Amino acid sequence: MELSERKQKILAAIVETYIRTGEPVGSKSLMDVLPMKVSSATIRNDMAELVSLGLLEQPHTSAGRVPSHAGYRYYIDHLMGARELDADSRRKIEAAIGDGGDPEELLSKAGEALADLTNCAAVSTTPTGESARIRRIEMVPVGTRTAMLVLLTSGGLLKSRICRSDTVINVPLLERFYNVTSTQLVGKPLADVHTTAMQTLAASLGADAFSLLPFLAGVAELARDAAQTDIRLDGQSNLLGYRELEENAYELMEFLRNGEPLNALISNNRDDVQVLIGKENKYRQLERSSLILARYSVGGEESGTLGVIGPTRLDYAKLIPSVRYLTDLVGRLLTRSVRDEE
């Protein structure tokens, strides 16, 4: 869609004014914010054309205009421009999430920080996925026939479980377990480490099959758990403060509480930063909302997602850099954590 420079400036001014005030924008108020001198009549004519193009809408009770979902999209793609996060905002984000640590604790801090900084609902997913690989497997005896299994993924995620056996856990058994797991399992994708594969592996071990099968089955259960994406939400109550969301607030909260549809939506994101505006979302419950989603990488591999959910009237120019910076920071901290474990 081609717009003249004047229409572009009028559309940008309407979007930015509406984001700031939440009130429909009229031609007279635009005269004060436009960078060039234009008559009120000319502005009204251009606004009418922007309405006919589907970039602006006119609320029934107002003479002013508001951006449509297509108007927001045009603004983001063509008018907003790249903006760096200011130093003060970077310091606030860094202070909120600290120096790293356990991935789930780090993502918890990141989600809380994102909700507080943006006044939106924040969503985050664990660094998981079937493509993630097993980085390390530990077995720690806690009794004569009981041990704790610990699995570390390439995304930095730790999973553990207690495993019981009919066989006494002694040094030779531990050595056999470490020999098998280090040569047969470490480095494999989580998707390849399932119950059937572990049964086949145990059957190939001859005399060790009976003693190792319970622990290999435990590793398969840990791999299954680690491959599942856990989704976390913070700051949902922030959404209740937006009058644009009042009409479908209950539906929106139920949608977020369900988790599964949101997880599917996030899983389809393959962009570094993705913005979904209103009806661009395939779910009816999100047609008045926007999502800003960014993927983080651990050790060079895409691992999870961070983002915010709010009304379509979001300050995209501010929030997109904030989400991107926080996501990059989480990826760096998780990568460092994984390397420290090596």
pLDDT in tens, 304-339: 889 999 999 999 999 999 999 999 999 888 888 777
Domain boundary among 197, 227, 257: 227
Do residues 155 and 31 share a domain?
Answer: no
Taking 70 as the threshold, does the pLDDT of residue 35 lie above it?
Answer: yes
Domain CATH for 105? 3.30.450.40
Within this chain, do residues 238 and 328 fall inside the same structural domain, yes or no?
yes
Q: Report whether 115 contacts 235 (CB < 8 A).
A: yes
Range of weakest confidence among 93-102, 220-229, 239-248: 93-102
Tell me, yes or no, whether 151 and 176 share the same domain. Answer: yes
Specify the pLDDT at position 129. 64
Q: Helix 316-341 and helix 103-118: axis angle, to 10°?
A: 170
- Give the pLDDT band of residue 131 (cuts 50, 70, 90): low
CA contacts within 13 A on the Cβ side of 111: 21
Supply the pTM of this predicted model: 0.81
Total domains present in the chain = 3
Q: Are residues 120 and 240 in the same domain?
A: yes
Same domain for 248 and 113: yes
Residues 217 and 235 in one domain: no
| The domain boundary residue, chosen from 168, 192, 227 | 227
- Indicate whether 55 and 156 sit together in one domain: no
Out of 208, 227, 246, a domain closes at: 227
Sheet with 121-125: list strands edge to edge: 231-234, 121-125, 301-311, 289-298, 273-277
Using alpha carbons only, what angle is made at residue 65 by residues 252 and 52, rounded to the nearest 5 degrees?
Answer: 100
CATH of the domain at 201: 3.30.390.60
Shared-domain flag, residues 206 and 291: no
Q: Rounded distance, CA 318 to CA 294, Å?
A: 14
Asked if residue 169 and residue 143 are part of one domain, the reply reads yes
What values do phi and psi take at 89, rounded to 5? -65, -40
Write out the H or E segment, with its range, that includes residue 234.
strand 231-234
Average the pLDDT over 293-311 and give the result. 87
Given a contact cutoff of 8 angstroms between Cβ atoms, the answer to whether 330 and 97 are in contact is: yes
Tokens 């040569």 identify what position? 183
Closest CA to 298 of 181, 113, 110, 129: 129
Q: Is the pLDDT of residue 130 over 70?
A: no
Are residue 334 and residue 304 in the same domain, yes or no?
A: yes
Residue 218 lies in domain: 134-227
Same domain, 113 and 140: no
Our CA angle for 332, 338, 342, nearest 5°, is 140
Question: How many C-alpha atoms does 289 have within 13 Å on its Cβ side?
Answer: 32
Q: What is the pLDDT of residues 74-90, one digit of tens each?
A: 999 999 977 788 898 88
Inter-axis angle of helices 260-267 and 249-258, nearest 10 = 70
CA distance 114 to 271: 19
What value does the mean pLDDT of the chain take?
A: 89
- pLDDT-derived band at 115, boundaries 50, 70, 90: very high
What tokens appear for 267 in the block?
Answer: 């899983």
* Residues 6+ away with beta carbon under 8 Å from 95: none
- What pLDDT, on the 0 to 100 scale, is given for residue 340? 64
The answer to whether 298 and 155 have CB atoms below 8 angstroms apart is: yes
β-pairing, 273-277 with 231-234?
A: unpaired
Question: Domain holding 61: CATH number?
Answer: 1.10.10.10
27 and 163 fall within a common domain:
no
